Structure 1
Amino acid sequence: MRKRAIVFAIIVALASCKGKPTAPLSVQKSATDSTQLLIAKLKPILQGVWVKQDYIQKVIASKSPLAGLDKVIGITTIQFNIDNIEADSLQAKVSYDNQQAGGVELIFRPGKHTPAMPFGENELSYSINGGDTSLILHQFYQNNWVLTPYVRALKNWNGRELQEGIIYLINKNIFAGTYQLTDDTGKTCIVKLSIDGRISGMPNFSTYLAENTFDSKLKNNLDQITFDIFSSNEKTYAFNFEGNTLNLYETKTAGNSTQLLQGKLKYKLVKLNDQ
């Protein structure tokens, strides 16, 4: 009787060790192969820096980063470096509201809206129209799916600056070109503004950066451009465009006001040609 009890206990123990049934190896291999095929297909599509389309379109059309402020909502830039793919996922760097840095994980498997894939709490898909590729962010908001498209600014980048894609598109589509500059004393010269933010021919300055990050605590009621930023020679002016003419103004504040006041015209730059 004792032997029978021992045998029964061994059988029970062995049965309990079996655990939950696993998928056949052939099914697991098929799923892995499908994931790898999906990754191979998406690598050239995802790679690069992406910018929120409605935001950058409004900035370019108005030649004013400040005018696009109402479109600076949620994720404004997405950076994908396909070299960082691990198993079935890829960590993206993102910028929220053009200010806060973050990260969102993309999972290479179907989401609720095929061919969308899980992207953090949301989903991400893509669209190819002719030669133009867009990423589409799917977000569930007030019982509806809201779709937000993103355009690729750069295929490759240095990875240090989350705003690099926005800066590139602003420089390329608004500022880059050759100008005839006239200063407030009447002196003239030929100046070139490059897509990479460099200046040649302008006395005293060698780089430029148009402000695109607006904090409600700062004086940001005027579009501003900074020359030689982060140097002892740093200088910021308000700017606007009148047709093909870029006007740079000195600024001042009125007492404790949080608003900037446009001062006298310092430089007038008439564009002669693009880039």
Structure 2
Amino acid sequence: MKYFILPLLALAFLASCKNKAPKQEQQQDTISTKPSSNTTADLIAKFKPIFTGNWVKISYIDKVIATKSPLAAMDKVKGITCILFDRHKVEGDSLMVLLGWENHDSSESPLRFKRGKRENSLQLGDSEIQYSVIKGDTVLTLYWVGENHKVTTTVYKKSPLANDNLGTGLEYFINKGLVAGNYIMTDSNAVKSKVSLSANGIIKGFSPFKTYNIHNDLNEEPMDNLDRIGFSDGKTVPYTWFTFKITGDTLKLFSTKPNADSSLLEIDKLRYTLIRQK
């Protein structure tokens, strides 16, 4: 009988494994198929921290940076270019969301804390908005239902600035991608100075100016035919405007003048040359 001890033990071990395996698989299935909560409170707790903030259209910002020109990227402003989710405006099961259209107009639409058809999505008016994580970055995808039920898909990224102004996110990414940095500036009299431009629109070293703004509301109005950057001392309105050209590490600022019928701006004289310092 001693020759059968090992085979019997082996059979017993195999039987034990077979009995345990289905139980483990059943536990995994239970965990993976556990339904997500659909209560308003739970959906607010999940989505509000993710959605709150200022979101901008990625394809537009990418083209502005690639071309170094908001004017050259105007074909990407069609539709909704920025979205503002205000953390203070939740009422009941919804949040009024501010939408920026083509860098010019705005409208509101209710974000309902009710699940959409897609994973990690909520209802936005008659449309749907979804969050996802791509290479460690959270993005929003808007499935906007327009005329004749045509769905337009647009992807957005979040501005790091905590601000409740709709246009701030666009300005931040344009500033950062085009001009933010430290420069040596030479004026038309060959006088040099150190100048610093921050991504949040602050300028230092260019007296008397304190802030700057890169014009992005180019909507076929008269004299909207050049890329422009404006500077303010914080008191004077309007801004002091120049047209700009970026080549490598060099930013050139030119004065402008209207053409004969004031329909277009023309480049006048080179006023400042700024060379980025590495």
Which has the larger displacement, 36-45 or 112-121? 112-121
Q: Which of these residues, 200, 203, 215, is aligned with residue 204 of structure 2?
A: 200
Correspondence 1:224-243 to 2 at 5 A: 224-228=228-232, 231=236, 234-243=239-248
1:95 is aligned, of 97, 100, 124, to 100
Contact 1:47 1:156 in 2 (8 A): no
SS in 2 for 1:216: coil
Residue 148 of structure 1, aligned match among 141, 148, 154? 154
- Could you tell me which amino acid in structure 2 is paired with residue 150 of structure 1? Y
Aligned position for 1:128: 133
CA deviations 1:30-75 (Å, max 9, x no partner) are 9996232222111221011000111111112222111111111121
TM-score where L is the length of structure 2: 0.80
Deviations 1:157-213 (A, max 9, x none): 1x2x32111111112222111100011111111111122212211133222111011
The unaligned stretches of length 5 or more in structure 2 are 1-34
Secondary structure class of the residue paired with 2:118: coil
Describe how 1:153-164 pairs up with structure 2 within 5 A: 153-154=159-160, 156-157=162-163, 159=164, 161-164=165-168
Mapped partners of 1:155, 1:181: distance in 2: 28
> Which shifted more, 148-157 or 113-122?
113-122
CA contact (8 A) 1:123 1:139 kept: yes
Give distance in 1, aligned partners of 2:149 and 2:98: 27
Match of 2:185 among 174, 181, 185: 181
- Corresponding residue for 1:218? 222
CA 1:181–1:224 in structure 2 vs 1: closer, same or farther (change >3 Å)? same
* C-alpha contact 2:38 2:115 (8 A) present in aligned 1: no
Q: TM-score, normalised by structure 1?
A: 0.81
Backbone CA RMSD of aligned residues: 2.2
Structure 2 counterpart of 1:38: 43
**Residues 78 and 216 (structure 1 numbering): CA distance in 2 closer, same or farther, change over 3 Å?**
same
Please state how far the C-alpha of 1:257 moved relative to its aligned partner: 4.3
Match of 1:78 in 2: 83
Structure 1 counterpart of 2:173: 169
Supply the distance in 1 between the matched residues of 2:259 and 2:121 (Cα, whole angstroms). Answer: 51
Deviates more, 1:136-145 or 1:69-78: 136-145
> Structure 2 vs 1, CA of residues 131 and 32 (structure 1 numbering), >3 Å: closer, same or farther?
closer
Give the % identical residues: 37
Gaps of 5+ in 1: 1-29
Match of 1:138 among 140, 143, 159: 143
Q: Distance in 2 between matches of 1:121 and 1:177?
A: 42
SS at match of 2:200: coil
Say which SS state the counterpart of residue 277 (structure 2) adopts: strand
The 3-state SS of whatever aligns with 2:115 is coil
